[in-house]
Amino acid sequence: MAPFFLLRLPLLPKHLLTDISTSRYNFSRCSKKCQQTVRNAAGNHFELRLYFWTENEMILKSKKGIENKIHFSFENFPVIPWSWTRSDNSVRRFPYKKYSGLYIKEKELIKYLVETFNCIIGELRFHCDATQNVFQPLLNFFLQSQFEFHLVAFDEGIVNDEDFKYLMDNCKMKELDLLCSVAVLSIEDFKIDVFCLRTLYSDWVTQNHLLKMTFELGYIQINCNMKKWMEIVKAWMNGWNKRMKFALFEPTRFDLDLADQIIENVIPGKRIDKEVIRQYPMISSDLNFTRHSSVLRGGYDFQRKEDGVLATITQDSGPQKRYVFAVWQ
């Protein structure tokens, strides 16, 4: 079985995990900051972020303060020398030589943290290749305590149809990151309804897939020609994904002037002939909803007939010239 990998967490001594099979943990030799964080962990103020990667890592983070967090890290095989986590001095790692492939030690600590701190599991990140043989039983373990997560992510590697469909059928999430590849996604009947959808590097997403997804924010890689893109725009005008406020598409690269000419023949609207400052929603690095100002130097404005909501098609100012579909509600 592929080993299970968990990420990092700081400021705990190595002896903490030596008696991991017991039902009680001794925090007396932890740093003062760690002890204070533990003492403050009353009520549902903490969330647990889990990463199954080249190292297995858990982050117990206070929802009230970014600085209030404890990192636990397991190393169950020799660490890759060039791993970026090696340069982070705040991470405390706890090596052990044996693993069963079922992540027994990690599960015991996860169960202890969830029960002791009454915290939620906020974030699950799966390395596709590392967890491909144990993904479903691993997910079942987390589903025992809750059915909805803030964020679920597939990072790197290839996720198969069966695991992807199992995730869609069995749990809910506010954000879904598909930062991976799918060899051949034969599933056409699944539906995704999330607050934020990221499909960077997932070039398997097609027009048919996209029209079965609803979201407020989208960072989507979709390869389609201008005709199929216009069908997506028209679908939005006819009521698809009314929740959407912002979608950034790449690597679709259109000539904006040509796009304007085509749009003018299909959708009533007008070009943006001068600089316009508008605000659009984004997700910050700590998964919080924020708003950012953007200067539009070109593009095409149009409205949905049903409710008059304004949308804009433009290109971002970056070197990749990604195609932006922004809705201003």
All structural domains of the chain with their residue ranges: 1-190, 221-329
Rounded to an integer, what distance in angstroms lies between the CA atom of residue 318 and that of residue 326? Answer: 16
Cα distances from 282 to residues 157, 192, 290, 313, in angstroms, run: 27, 19, 5, 17
* pLDDT for 211: 87
Nearest Cα neighbor of 287 from 139, 164, 152 is: 152
Predicted confidence at residue 44, as pLDDT, reads 44
Where does residue 156 rank: exposed (0-12), middle (13-18), buried (19+ CB within 10 A)?
A: middle
Inter-CA distances, 101 with 3, 173, 254, Å: 5, 26, 47
Determine the pLDDT at residue 126: 81
Q: pLDDT tens digits, residue range 20-72?
A: 333 344 555 555 555 555 555 444 456 777 776 655 666 666 655 555 566 66
pLDDT of residue 217: 86
Is the distance from CB of 322 to CB of 248 less than 8 angstroms? yes
For residue 167, give both structure tokens: 């995730």
Tokens found for residue 113? 């943290």
Q: Give the per-residue pLDDT at 23.
A: 34
Rg (Cα) of the chain, in Å, rounded?
23
**Which residue matches tokens 């740093």?**
31
Taken as a whole, the chain contains a residue count of 329
Buried b (16+ CB within 10 A) or exposed e, 228-264: ebbebbeebbeebbeebbbbbbbebebebeebbebbe
Residues lower than pLDDT 70 in the chain: 1-46, 52-103, 105-106, 117, 181-189, 201-204, 223, 250-264, 266-274, 279-297, 316-322, 329
- What is the pLDDT at residue 98? 41
Query: What pTM value is reported for the model?
Result: 0.69
Six-digit token string for 310: 């304004």
Predicted pLDDT of residue 97? 40
What pLDDT does 146 receive? 83
Torsion sign over Cα 130, 132, 134, 140: positive
